Structure formats: structure tokens, C-alpha cells
Amino acid sequence: MNQHIQPATQELPEKKSGIPAALACKCPRCRSGNMFAEKNPYRLKTTMKMNERCPVCRQPFDIEVGFYYGSSYVSYAFSIAISVASLIAWWLFIGLSTSDNRFFYWLIANALLLVVLQPFLMRLARSVWLSFFVRYDRNWQTNEPAVPERINKDQMNNW
């Protein structure tokens, strides 16, 4: 009963950080493939056009019908965080007062900032939302991605 177990000769790939991958809208499973067909979020005709699968690891991005409706909560949280950060920055650098219109100027500046950032925030929210449900797999080269259970082909990319 003296069996020797040979150590694995193949090294596991180095684990990539999830935050830069999410910010770059990369696949959460391999953290290499692009989630979106167009890299530039400000090409408004194709802003939300996602790849059906990851071009690197073949992870499906459309997990179930209506999956990305939940990303609206993530987008809302990002918008609130940006609004709070811009209010604090405005308060520190310009100041807030009830005797003039500085608060209303901040409201206008914040609204413009959020409108300009919206295409990026929508993509980022989808990337973060998907990463809640699809985990990084160090062995993505050998492991098959999970097959989506509830897909309606007629409703894919229909948002």
C-alpha cells in the first residue's frame, strides 16, 4: 500500500485580479475575453451589444431570460456613489451655501456627469452583475463552462 502520488506537472495559471477585469468588462470566468462586441462604450448604436459567448473561454453571457435586469441595481449604486463623491468634492473645493445657487449648480453638473458616464456605467454594471454569478475558474482551459438552463433564443440581446 505504498503508493506514491506524483505532483502535477502542469502549473496552474496565475490568478488574475477581478476588479481590473470587471472595470475592463472582461469575462468573469477567464478574465481575458471581451464581454462586448464593441470596445468603445460611446459608440451609442452598439453600446450594449454583447458577445453571445466569451471569445476566449466560451462562457455564455446570456445566462437566462431577463438576467441583466438585475444590473440596474448595480448601475443605481454606482450612480449614487458617483453623486455622493461629486457632492463631497464640490463641497470641499467650491462649497455649499443656502444663500446662493451653488447647490443647484452642483445638481446640474452632477446630472451632466451622470449622463456622460451612463454608457460606461451600464456596461460596468453588467460586468459586475455577471461576476456575481460566474466565478473565476483557474482551469478554464480544461473545464467546460456551465450550460445556461433557461434561454429563449427569440429574446437574446433584446433589451
Output the tens digit of pLDDT for each of the chain's 159 residues: 444 444 444 555 566 677 888 889 999 999 889 999 999 999 988 888 989 889 999 898 888 878 888 999 999 999 999 999 999 999 999 988 878 889 999 999 999 999 999 999 999 999 999 999 888 888 888 888 877 766 666 665 555
Output the pLDDT for position 5.
45
Output the pLDDT for position 83.
97
Give the residues across from 26 on adjacent strands.
34
CA–CA gap between residue 123 and residue 140 (Å, rounded):
23
Domain boundaries, the chain: 18-145
Its pTM stands at 0.78
Output the pLDDT for position 76.
97
Output the pLDDT for position 1.
45
Output helix, strand, coil percentages for the chain, rounded to the nearest 5: 45, 5, 50
Give the residues across from 64 on adjacent strands.
150
Output the pLDDT for position 19.
87
Q: Would you give the DSSP letter of residue 139?
A: T
